[in-house]
Amino acid sequence: MDVHAIVTGFRGAEPLPGLPDSWHWSPAPGIDFAGALSADGNRLLQLSGRNSYDQDLAVSTLRFARDHEDAIFARNPFLGALDGFEPPAGHRFDTVVGIAPDVHRFYRVENPDLTPHVRLTFPAYACEFSGEETLDEAITRYRMLRLNHLDREPLPFLKMRYANTRTGAGARTRDGASPSRRGSWRSFG
């Protein structure tokens, strides 16, 4: 698939200054997309902003995603995250998150052949991801974080289970062990 030809064919797509093989387009007022070809040219790394688009932040995020794409998805193929991101002045993000096609399903209606070639990337916060999200958990995190609000505050991720001390019943931990009969809170992520 020629991802370059498809993206440059989007209505209103214009080169994004400061990053080769990247573009900006806006399908509707207040909705902005920015995308860049992956280092190998086979995928589109894309972000969006809803009433919060910032070109410098888009360029920084896409550059980081292009330079570190393999590392972003190394721990989790569905919802990968890599810290060490240094955003432009005025932003507090410290991580870039990558979202796989199985999670985002972007373009599934208007261009389904493109969907498997798109990885969404957004500036984020390290505290929002465990790195161990299942596919279902990744879909939930993606939907609840409102990643396209590029001026948002962190929304930390915490997963807990409780063992009932009175009955001895309770959920199992991630490693499959039974929780303590005395009862305890366990956090994951």
pLDDT 10s digit of each residue in the chain, 189 long?
Answer: 899 999 999 999 999 999 999 999 999 999 999 999 999 999 999 999 999 999 999 999 999 999 999 999 999 999 999 999 999 999 999 999 999 999 999 888 888 899 999 999 999 999 998 888 999 999 999 998 999 999 999 988 776 666 677 776 665 544 444 444 444 444 444
Other CB atoms within a 10 A radius of the CB of residue 158 amount to 9
Q: The whole model's pTM is what? A: 0.83
| Residues 100, 41: Cα–Cα separation, whole Å | 16
Query: Quick one: which of 157, 132, 144 has its CA closest to 76?
Result: 132
Number of residues in the chain: 189
Spatial distance between the Cα atoms of 12 and 149, rounded to a whole number of angstroms:
22
